[in-house]
Amino acid sequence: MAFEPFVLEKVLNAPPARVWSALTDVEQMRKWYFDLPAFKAETGFEFEFTAGSEERQYRHLCKVTEVEQNRKLAYSWRYADYPGDSEVTFELIPEGGKTRLRLTHKGLHTFPKEYPDFAPESFASGWNHIIGKSLAGFVETES
């Protein structure tokens, strides 16, 4: 059985370098993403953060797996104390002064089915908010 990854595309009214900076600069990431103690866009860099729903918080454990400056960032995404491994990839495609961001989150099917927070709809809702509202609002306004 094939498991389809979650894919979200959004055209951002900002150049790729601006979007890349928002995706990789820890100070900027804290403003629109999660409160990360540290982050470096370097293959092998491990980072973690705590986030979740009002009912339950999860410790996210991540490791950068791929970096192509201003083009692509990927990292593993799993949860402490829960089975499952996934990978999040951000691809930046220039479109005449704007950036088409393609987010792919694969491996969601490996997370426990009995937790609503790990349901595909939960990830879809979360990523739509994070990319469509938080990131878009951050990069499309002057810094």
pLDDT on residue 1: 55
Average pLDDT of the segment spanning 33-55:
94
pTM over 0.85: yes
What domains, with CATH codes, occur in the chain? Answer: 6-139 (3.30.530.20)
Q: What is the pLDDT of residues 87-123, one digit of tens each?
A: 999 999 999 999 999 999 999 999 999 988 999 999 9
Higher pLDDT, 12 or 2: 12
Q: At 3, is the pLDDT very low, low, confident or very high (cuts 50, 70, 90)?
A: confident
Q: Which one, of 63, 71, 68, lies nearest residue 88 by Cα? A: 63
- The rounded distance, in Å, linking the Cα atoms of 91 and 88 is 10
pLDDT on residue 112: 95
Average pLDDT of the segment spanning 31-36:
96
Q: At 142, is the pLDDT very low, low, confident or very high (cuts 50, 70, 90)?
A: low
Q: What is the mean pLDDT of the chain?
A: 95
- Are the C-beta atoms of residues 48 and 60 closer than 8 Å to each other? yes
